[in-house]
């Protein structure tokens, strides 16, 4: 996922509970943009595919077209009201059910766990709104950085954090730089701000999820999450008779391609799927598993 200018995401994990995908973040984070809060645009719930689904479909279609044994390729979208699956894929005369999912950790915060990506986007949106307020009040003079960590009940403390940011901007407006100030502290997690310089007028944002993981720990966690995803999707697709292809969009912060491959023998629901295909926004897409040996190129 592209990270906007002025936003730095440190994807380091706390003790995280893995789950997956697309829940509304509004109750936990309060106000925010529809995209950041996981809310689909009005009117397209039953008509349009999400961008992540289209991304995965395009990636897998491109992969299939590199295989000399694959003939004619055609796709049929399934309306949202009739999912699952997300698509049907026709290869010559063979039909496959194609389901798209995300692989992302959730972080344990009150009132409920939130996907790390959604939490970062919503927090970023909050800081951008504070920056807009500061510009309107003409108190943004210099480059500032807000550093944040997950906190419980953010909706209850957001106004306090906003007021703290604005107060710091006023206090340091005439200074070339300033030492950091703690905006909010909770169980070792902090929101803080500092002034870096006066060469530009904006507020950067840095989000940290905690201490870095060792490679072995990251690989173990990856396999746990991936197994949970497959169990969930196998159950969701249990009434689908066509061979099932699962496209997994990788939002996990750790683990190389080799780490993903190491998970294959550990997946308890692997037999429910014809093919697993990993999609990464950076373009490193590859098959994790397939019953067709020719499809296991690079896996």
| CA nearest neighbour of 249 among 129, 98, 145, 83 | 98
pLDDT digit string, tens, across residues 156-207: 999 999 999 999 999 999 999 999 999 999 988 999 999 999 999 999 999 8
How far apart CA 134 and CA 52 sit, in angstroms, is: 34
How far apart CA 232 and CA 25 sit, in angstroms, is: 21
Question: CA quadruple 173, 176, 177, 178: dihedral positive or negative?
Answer: negative
Identify the pLDDT of residue 214: 60
The confidence band for 211, taking pLDDT boundaries of 50, 70 and 90, is: low
For residue 276, the surrounding DSSP H or E stretch is: strand 275-279
Identify the pLDDT of residue 18: 29
In this structure, are strands 244-250 and 17-19 parallel, antiparallel, or unpaired?
unpaired
Identify the pLDDT of residue 1: 37
pLDDT digit string, tens, across residues 38-81: 333 333 433 455 788 999 999 999 999 999 888 899 999 998 88
| CA nearest neighbour of 112 among 27, 229, 18 | 27
254-257, long-range: CB within 8 Å, 24+ apart, which pairs?
A: 254/11, 254/13, 254/213, 254/218, 254/219, 254/221, 254/222, 255/218, 255/219, 255/222, 257/284, 257/286
Question: What residues pair up with 88 in beta bridges, in sequence order?
Answer: 76, 97
CA-derived radius of gyration, the chain = 22
Q: Which two tokens stand for residue 70?
A: 């694959």
Model confidence at 12: pLDDT above 70: no
Model confidence at 243: pLDDT above 90: yes
The confidence band for 255, taking pLDDT boundaries of 50, 70 and 90, is: low
73 Cβ neighbours under 8 A, 6+ residues apart = 61, 64, 65, 89, 90, 91
pTM above 0.85, yes or no: no
The mean of the pLDDT values for the chain is: 81
What average pLDDT score do residues 96-111 get? 87
Identify the pLDDT of residue 80: 86
Model confidence at 21: pLDDT above 90: no
Helices marked H in 185-283 — which ranges? 215-236, 257-262
What average pLDDT score do residues 97-109 get? 87
Identify the pLDDT of residue 74: 95
| CA nearest neighbour of 204 among 131, 121, 137 | 131
């Amino acid at each position: 996922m592209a990270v906007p200018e002025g936003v730095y995401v440190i994807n380091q994990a706390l003790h995280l509970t893995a789950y997956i995908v697309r829940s509304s973040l509004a109750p936990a984070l309060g106000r925010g943009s529809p995209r950041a809060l996981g809310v689909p645009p009005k009117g397209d719930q039953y008509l349009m595919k999400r961008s992540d689904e289209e991304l995965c479909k395009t990636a897998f279609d491109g992969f299939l077209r590199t295989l000399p044994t694959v003939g004619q390729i055609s796709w049929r979208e399934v309306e949202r009201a009739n999912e699952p699956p997300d698509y049907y894929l026709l290869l010559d005369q063979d039909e496959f059910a194609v389901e798209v999912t995300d692989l992302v950790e959730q972080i344990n915060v009150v009132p409920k766990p939130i996907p790390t990506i959604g939490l970062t986007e919503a927090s970023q949106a909050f800081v951008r709104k504070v920056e807009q307020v500061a510009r309107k009040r003409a108190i943004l003079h210099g480059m500032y950085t807000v550093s944040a960590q997950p906190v419980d009940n953010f909706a209850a403390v957001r106004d306090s954090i906003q007021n703290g940011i604005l107060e710091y901007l006023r206090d340091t407006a005439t200074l070339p730089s300033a030492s950091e100030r703690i905006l909010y502290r909770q169980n070792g997690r902090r929101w803080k701000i500092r002034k870096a310089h006066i060469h530009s007028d904006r507020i950067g944002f840095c989000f940290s999820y905690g201490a870095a993981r060792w490679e072995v720990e990251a690989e173990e966690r990856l396999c746990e999450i991936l197994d949970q995803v497959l169990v969930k999707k196998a159950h969701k697709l249990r009434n689908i008779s066509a061979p099932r292809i699962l496209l997994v969009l990788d939002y996990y912060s750790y683990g190389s391609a080799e780490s993903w491959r190491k998970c294959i023998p550990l997946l308890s629901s692997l037999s429910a799927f014809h093919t697993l295909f990993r999609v990464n926004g950076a373009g490193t897409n590859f098959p994790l598993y397939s019953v067709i040996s020719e499809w296991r190129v690079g896996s």
